[in-house]
Amino acid sequence: MTGPAQDILTVNAGSSSIKIAVFDRTLTQTVSASVSEIAGASRLRIAGEDRPCEAPDHDAAVAVLLAALGELGHGVDSFSAAGHRVVHGGRGFTEPCLVTPDVIARIEEAIPLAPLHNPANLAAIKALARRAPDLPQTASFDTAFHATNPEVARRYAIPEAEDAKGIRRYGFHGISYASLTERLPGLTGEPLPKRLLALHLGNGASLCAILDGRSVATTMGYSPLDGLTMGTRSGGIDGNAVLRLAQDHGIDGAARLLNRESGLLALGGASDMRELHRADTPQARFAIEHFCYWTVRNAGSMIAAMGGTNALVFTGGIGENDAYVRAAVMSGLAFTGLEFDASANAAGDMRLHAPNSRVKAFIVPAAEEAHIAAEAARVLGLAPGST
């Protein structure tokens, strides 16, 4: 490739998959790819192709992805930076930052807070560093957006010694919420609403109360398990019920049950909302009702935390695509003064509210990778459009 390196690579490493995307100097996505089922029947998806690959671990998966990008003309030397999603920043990381040995050590310290996610995030960082040691890497933290929550919202009512261990509310989906907060005014042509209820609804689901552009409350807590009913996560559950499950199934068994065997899957037989709609069994209908009920009920808490609401925004796979769920949630929030336009909702229009509604409602497609790329550019002083 000729000319100076200018593309930005984004990396989102999960416990068994890695998703990457390439953004050009205008921060426009040009290609994306993923490796799924790492350490199993791994598959590479890129440029419309889906084929088996050898990825026994995250290091091998990164190698597969870089080779596939190279075949499309996106060699490592074409990148000016790589931005990573890091799930947990603990107390210390409240802004995106350049990855350094000290930053790596501090992300490692947060592994007990996110044992399923931070090790995978670190594995991808280290794998890329081995193959491109001179490439600057940045980290964007899913917890950072919620660092503005007041202490009364973050602190559990437990002894100080336990809080000092890091057992407190952090919140997640922060990259998604930061992205929609930045983008909403440009999409609507209106100022950011003072009190904004953001609903990230997908296999993982949460809500966020955004007051004057800052998170003041969110439904996820110490981990992404808390809050709403999710694809395979239980959502909120009494601590003593967790202790009973640990007694009956052991700690590892209880963790597996709550994180991988609960939620929509346990209630309706499928973790995918689309499958539940297609099944249309009594169990599937109950699972959907459960999801909508707890979304509305938690929304009331978020609205109270910011003293009302002027608008709400749906994002995430369910929030963007499921008109039934959006209608149920908006109907449940009619007490706020929200009147939604049924035809606009059915069509999936960006503007969902009726002309005379006191509260506005929108759909904003998730763009977490683009936000990570933009944060990498800011951290490294790479002006969009420059060469």
Q: pLDDT tens for residues 96-141?
A: 999 999 999 999 999 998 888 999 999 999 999 999 999 999 999 9
Instruction: Name the pTM for this structure.
Output: 0.94
Mean pLDDT of 175-193: 97
Measured distance CA(234)–CA(9) in Å, rounded:
34
Helix, strand or coil for residue 226?
coil
User: What pLDDT, on the 0 to 100 scale, is given for residue 386?
Assistant: 44
With cut-offs at 50, 70 and 90, classify the pLDDT of residue 28. Answer: very high
Instruction: Please give the pLDDT value at position 75.
Output: 94
- In sequence order, which ranges of the chain are alpha helices (DSSP H)? 58-71, 101-109, 118-131, 151-154, 160-164, 174-188, 239-260, 263-268, 273-279, 282-305, 316-321, 323-332, 342-347, 368-380
**Would you call 142 a catalytic residue per the annotation?**
yes
The residue that leads in pLDDT, 113 or 196, is 196
Residue 1 has pLDDT above 50, yes or no: no
Q: How many residues does the chain have?
A: 387
Question: How many angstroms separate the Cα of 300 from the Cα of each of 153, 307, 323?
Answer: 15, 10, 21
Q: What is the dihedral of CA 102, 105, 106, 110, to 10 degrees?
A: 170
Task: Select from 386, 367, 372 the least CA-distant residue to 184.
Answer: 367
* CA nearest to 312, candidates 177, 175, 186, 221: 177
pLDDT digit string, tens, across residues 325-371: 999 999 999 999 999 999 999 999 999 999 999 999 999 999 999 99
50 closest CA partner among 36, 30, 69: 36
Measure the CA–CA gap between 222 and 190, rounded to whole angstroms.
34
Mean pLDDT of the chain: 95
> What confidence tier does 49 reach under pLDDT thresholds 50, 70, 90?
very high
The whole-number pLDDT of residue 184 equals: 98
Per-residue b or e along 127-161, where b marks 16 or more CB atoms closer than 10 Å to that residue's CB: bbbeebeebbbbbbbbbbbbbebeeebbeeeeeee
Q: Token pair for residue 243? A: 């202790």
Position 334 scores a pLDDT of: 98
Domains (ranges, CATH) in the chain?
Answer: 7-141 (3.30.420.40), 189-363 (3.30.420.40)
What does DSSP assign to residue 334?
G
Q: Given this model, what pLDDT does residue 383 score?
A: 66
pLDDT tier, 54 (very low <50, low <70, confident <90, very high otherwise): very high
For residues 320 and 349, give the distance between their C-alpha atoms in angstroms, rounded to a whole number.
10
- The DSSP line for 41-79 is S-EEEETTEEEE---SSHHHHHHHHHHHHHHTT--GGGE
Amino acid at 7: D
Residue burial 165-174, b: 16+ Cβ < 10 Å; e: rest? eebbbbbbbb
Residue 6: the pLDDT is 86
Q: Which of 59, 77, 134, 142 is catalytic?
A: 142
What CA–CA distance (Å, rounded) separates 251 from 215?
32
HSE-up (13 A, CA, CB side) for residue 145: 33
Parallel, antiparallel or unpaired: strands 195-200 and 79-86: unpaired
Query: Has residue 2 got a pLDDT over 50?
Result: no
Residue pair 17/120 in contact (Cβ under 8 Å)? The answer is no
For residue 123, give both structure tokens.
């594995």
pLDDT of residue 306: 98
How many other C-beta atoms can be found within 10 angstroms of the C-beta atom of residue 186? 8
Q: How far apart are the first and last CA of the chain?
A: 14
**What average pLDDT score do residues 197-208 get?**
97
Per-residue pLDDT reduced to its tens digit, 252-287: 999 999 999 999 999 999 999 999 999 999 999 999
Measured distance CA(96)–CA(86) in Å, rounded: 10
How far is 67 from 16, CA to CA, in rounded Å? 19
In the chain, % of residues over pLDDT 90? 94
Q: How would residue 387 be classed by pLDDT, with cut points 50, 70 and 90? A: very low
Decide if pLDDT at 35 tops 90: yes
What is the residue type of 381? G
pLDDT exceeds cutoff 90 at 235:
yes
